[in-house]
Chains A and B, each alone.
Chain A
Amino acid sequence: MSALLKSFSSFLGSSIGKKLLVALTGAVLVLFVLGHMIGNLLIFVGPDAINEYGHFLQTMIHGAGVWIARVGLLVCAVLHVVLTIQLTRENRAARSQRYGYTATIQASKSSRIMILSGLTILAFIIYHLLHFTVHAGNNYGTYQVMLHGEKVHDVYKMVVAGFSWLPASIFYIIAMLLLCSHLSHGVSSMFQTLGLATERTRPIFEKIGSAYAAIILIGNCSIPIAVLLHFVK
């Protein structure tokens, strides 16, 4: 057993071990943002659709489902953030003396601002949870509606109220632009770090990453924009 622990700790201490964990936790978060977006797009189907979806999430496995998901996502997010901060600090230390003349040959802009886009997304997630999950500073938690003869939380009314305030919508859209940037490097980077990319598949993964990032951006931004334009009201 001690040999197993020794292997695990040297894996966690190594550059590649940490990066593999960043890629795996990133994969979970990448799949989550797609599922989250598809669920939220139900707002365009109508109030009943998104309220029923919200009610389903709250009550699946007798209410335990949502907590299993929350704990899983929290573990992934914490690992992803802690490890990338640690890796970034090591990277800065590895070049203590900067170049007098800096040049970049082919590194994308997105790849060079990963820590910046990542930490801004982290700040956004905290705001987003306070805004729509904890209902801090608002009364969205009291919104109720009748659905199939049952009193459920009125998610539809909450989203419309939340995005009707322009500054909140602008922050959401900025965060989604940074998420798009983060994903456009992160998704293809994940395949390289997990050792799944080859010379022939890497260009395909890069296209998939860009397309994925664009889909998430368009899908998520469509909701605050639709609310602001009174298309959803």
Chain B
Amino acid sequence: MASNLNLKLKIWRQPSTNAKGTFQDVEATDIPETASFLEMLDIVNQRIIDSGGDPVAFDHDCREGICGTCSMVINGIPHGPRRGTTACQLHMRLFKNGDTIWIEPFRAKAFPVIKDLAVDRSAFDRIMVAGGFISVRTGSAQDANSLPISKEDADSAMDAAECIGCGACVATCKNASAMLFVSAKAGQLNSLPQGQPEKHRRVLGMVKAMDESGFGNCTNQYECEAACPKGISVRWIAKLNRDYALATVHESLLAPANGKGGGAA
């Protein structure tokens, strides 16, 4: 028999990016334990709206754990206490009647708060623009078997491709580092033959965009891997470190110094 919960919420309220934020105490009474965490916030917001208040702003979209839009820190852990789960897939039955729940936005200088729990993650877009793609010719498709890829490489790339770009790795990292995201996005393409031509340029470009956005530096504490709703492994960070060293050697020593690309001087 499903029962209802009475909870004490401490919700971060911040009217705008530069405004000062504070925690607001909200009594969330009579919450069905079958509700998801976001549905609980919907119920709380409806009550705030009914009483003429300003509802809590939070990001959400698919509500089935695959889009990476929901972005809140619940009791100090992005997406809450359940491993491998986004906030939308977190259910209220994980909490006990009378619990106090702290709800905060992802905190990082590179992710400025827009309002309340909603943060601006366009720093991730800038990183993707700097190399998170492959350039392919358009037009008629080539034969499907013309690019052999080993099963291991395909599986490995798919593991990295699981990243939904939610930013939980940044939010949980003690240094607000984006290394898990960047390493998964770069590693996915660097594992495949289609990603090889632009590999060095991709690695240098994405790391530069990451540093310029004001993210911190990785200190190998692996909080990111534990908080990641998709369980992306920190082995991608090791690969990015390795690829960055190789890309630097390529750029500084191996690439033609005065390449004319076959044209006349």
A contact set with B: CB distance below 8 Å: 3-4, 7-8, 10-11, 13-20, 87, 90-91, 93-108, 111-112, 114, 185, 188-189, 191-199, 202
Contacts and interface: CB of A to CB of B under 8 A. Distances in A.
B77 interface: yes
B239 A195 contact: yes
B242 A195 contact: yes
A7 B208 CA distance: 12
A111 B248 contact: no
Contact of B176 (A14, A91, A100, A189): A91
A90 B217 contact: yes
A93 B109 contact: yes
6 contacts: A14-B211, A15-B210, A91-B219, A95-B109, A99-B73, A100-B104
Nearest to B243: A195
Contacts of A98: 107
B202 to A, nearest CB: 14
A103 B104 CA distance: 12
A18 B244 CA distance: 12
Interface in B229-250: 233-235, 237-245, 248
B221 A197 contact: no
Contacts of A197: 235, 238
B104 A99 contact: yes
Interface residues of B, number: 53
Contacts of A105: 77, 172, 223, 226-227
A102 B73 CA distance: 10
B206 to A, nearest CB: 11
Contact of A19 (B176, B241, B242, B251): B241
Contact of A95 (B12, B175, B219, B221): B175
Nearest first, the 5 closest Cβ-Cβ pairs linking A and B are: A195-B242, A103-B76, A7-B252, A94-B216, A91-B175
Contacts of A8: 252
B219 A111 contact: yes
A83 B235 CA distance: 24
Nearest to B248: A11
B34 interface: no
A94 B108 CA distance: 6
A36 B177 CA distance: 36
A106 B238 CA distance: 18
A195 B183 CA distance: 12
B233 A199 contact: yes
B76 A101 contact: yes
Residue of A8, A95, A185 with most partner-chain B CB within 10 A: A95
Contact of A195 (B21, B219, B245): B245
Interface string B84-128: 000000000000000000101001111000000000000000000
B11 to A, nearest CB: 10
B196 interface: no
Given A95-B108, A95-B175, A99-B76, A194 B241 contact: yes
Contacts of A185: 220
Given A101-B102, A192-B234, A199-B233, A15 B217 contact: yes
A106 B176 contact: no
B214 interface: yes
Given A4-B253, A94-B216, A99-B73, A16 B12 contact: no
